Structure 1
């Protein structure tokens, strides 16, 4: 046996372990980004529904309700606009280095031009 191959398995194990750690870190980062996006989407949807429910009471009251709902979901409301019975809310959630903003719109069925009404 020749002595020139001694220790090469250690090098290969170290390289493979490093690559697996990098892949695992990337998967964790992507998972955290997706979780942040979903959390912001849920908060924006619920806040828009709350604002649309209070739309007839005035913009200040509707956006106040949307802000309370967004905060209860662990998000912050970035923007709230109420036009008639339609409410549009943008919410942001911070999770680690990620802070996605998601916009959601809600209102009664049949008021969104070009979109089919919900099936009863």
Structure 2
């Protein structure tokens, strides 16, 4: 009887371990997508002066290196707006991709009574 209980406990621990590992892998995929979107937006904003085509090429270069798909890239004035998709590997691929969006561009600074106020557009 003790063997059955021990086998059941081991099976429960294995299931719990797999669940924790899967949740960790999903979180890592989401973080990778968010980081790639942020960095791609910064790269595109840095090249905005060269035009949308060049800016989006820079964003694509970053997203390719980070292992995500660049879904959209556009310049809105000096602001770069990026959307990327990261597909989780292994068993998690059936749950769908992690999507992330980011915006990067200049900020406006105003001095208000000795305090610096930074406003994003």
Same fold at TM > 0.5: yes
The alignment status of 1:34 with 2:32, answered yes or no, reads: no
Q: Which has the larger radius of gyration?
A: 1
Aligned residue in 2 for 1:61: 54
- Bigger shift: 67-76 or 43-52? 67-76
* Distance in 1 separating the partners of 2:62 and 2:83: 12
The alignment status of 1:117 with 2:110, answered yes or no, reads: no
Over the aligned positions, Cα root-mean-square deviation in angstroms equals 1.7
Superposed CA offset, 1:74-99 (max 9, x none): 21211112111001101122231152
The structure 1 segments of at least 4 consecutive aligned residues displaced by more than 6 Å after TM superposition are none
Where structure 1 has 5 or more consecutive residues not aligned to the other structure, the ranges are 1-7
Superposed CA offset, 1:40-67 (max 9, x none): 1111111000111111221111111100
The number of residue pairs the alignment matches comes to 107
Q: The residue matched to 1:51 in structure 2 has which SS?
A: helix
Aligned residue in 2 for 1:104: 102
The alignment status of 1:85 with 2:68, answered yes or no, reads: no
- Give the TM-score normalised by structure 1: 0.82
Where structure 2 has 5 or more consecutive residues not aligned to the other structure, the ranges are 110-116
- Give the TM-score normalised by structure 2: 0.82
* Distance in 1 separating the partners of 2:7 and 2:40: 49
1:110 Cα offset (Å): 2.3
